[in-house]
């Protein structure tokens, strides 16, 4: 599958794509405060590209459970200068990690290609979908909910959620074929649900291409006897390989080099 967005082409399915995480925030759970300076952020993006990142995902507000919202203006102040610099200096695909359509539109104006929305186009009244349609952007739509209780089987609930996402997209002129789905590991799910979704992820691979985002998340730390976020690379690699086997086309990670190497080997075995 070939996806087009602005001046970039994204080929899905031939190999696993690596999305490198660039948080220009002070409070992200793993790397908050590491890349708040523009020069440092651009240098980190360059390093990830050299290590094998196909996409750089830039976020200006933490979306971890219990996060504190910041103003739209502050979010823009953090991400737009970085997007401009990376767009002008580095040859890469840029993703904006936001659920605010105002930030997404400004990002698209300044060089972004993908909108990564942790609320799957369902946080507003269709404005995010309309922005994506306006710029013919690729969208990563993540499954999410408040709380971890589900009345139905988790995979049925997920299918219903994405059906709503596709309906919102259609109503606002965005093709379903521009949407990549993310099962939302760590969002609206406890550790058991995270593991169940990972185990059964192949059940949703018919819906759309899948992006998997597990990098350094809490459930990995729990499984590894409480290891802190920056020591969870090996655990993340395990989820990357399991995810590729179950249909993931893109993995969103902090530790690009380790996951790129794992994906190369997994692809050689699985994508034959």
Please give the full DSSP string across the chain, using - where no structure is assigned. Answer: -EEEETTEEEE-SSS-EEEEEEE--S--TTTTTSS-SHHHHHHHHHHHHHHT-SEEEEESS--STT-----HHHHHHHHHHHHHHHHHH--SEEEEE-S-HHHHHHHHHTT--EEEETTTT-SSSSHHHHHHHHTT-EEEEE---SSS--SS-HHHHHHHHHHHHHHHHHHTT--GGGEEEE--TTSS--HHHHHHHHHTGGGGTTTS-EEE--TT-HHHHHHTTS--GGG-HHHHHHHHHHHHHTTEEEEEES-HHHHHHHHHHHHHHH--
Q: Active-site residue among 217, 232, 246, 260? A: 217
Q: Stretch 10-24: mean pLDDT, rounded?
A: 95
pLDDT given at position 27: 54
**Residue 260 annotated to the active site:** no
Per-residue pLDDT tens over the stretch 107-153: 999 999 999 999 999 999 999 999 999 999 999 999 999 999 999 99
For residue 65, pLDDT beyond 70: no
* Catalytic position from the list 78, 216, 232, 252: 252
Does the annotation mark 232 as catalytic? no
- pLDDT, tens digit, for every residue of 243-265? 999 999 999 999 999 999 999 99
């Amino acid at each position: 599958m070939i996806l087009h967005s602005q001046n970039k082409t994204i080929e899905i399915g031939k190999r696993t794509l690596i999305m490198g995480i660039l948080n220009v925030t002070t409070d992200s759970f793993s790397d908050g405060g590491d890349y708040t300076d523009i020069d440092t952020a651009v240098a980190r993006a360059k390093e990830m590209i050299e290590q094998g990142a196909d996409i750089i995902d830039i976020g200006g507000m933490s979306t971890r459970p219990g996060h504190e919202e910041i103003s739209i203006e502050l979010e823009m102040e953090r991400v737009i200068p970085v997007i401009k610099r990376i767009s002008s200096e580095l040859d890469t695909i840029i993703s904006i990690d936001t659920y605010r359509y105002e930030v997404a539109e400004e990002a698209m104006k300044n060089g972004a290609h993908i909108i990564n929305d942790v609320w799957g186009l369902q946080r507003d009244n269709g404005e995010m979908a309309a922005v994506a349609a306006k710029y013919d952007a690729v969208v990563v739509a993540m499954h999410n909910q408040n709380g971890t209780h589900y009345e139905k089987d988790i995979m049925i609930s997920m299918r219903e959620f994405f059906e709503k996402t596709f309906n919102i997209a259609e109503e606002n002129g965005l093709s379903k074929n521009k949407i990549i789905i993310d099962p939302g590991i760590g969002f609206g799910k406890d550790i058991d649900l995270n593991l169940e979704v990972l185990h059964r992820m192949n059940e949703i691979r018919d819906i759309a291409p899948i992006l998997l985002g597990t990098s350094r998340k809490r459930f990995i730390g729990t499984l590894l006897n409480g290891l802190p976020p920056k020591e969870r690379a090996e655990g993340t690699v395990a989820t990357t390989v399991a995810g590729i086997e179950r249909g993931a086309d893109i993995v969103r990670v902090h530790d690009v080099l380790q996951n790129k190497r794992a994906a190369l080997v997994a692809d050689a075995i699985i994508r034959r």
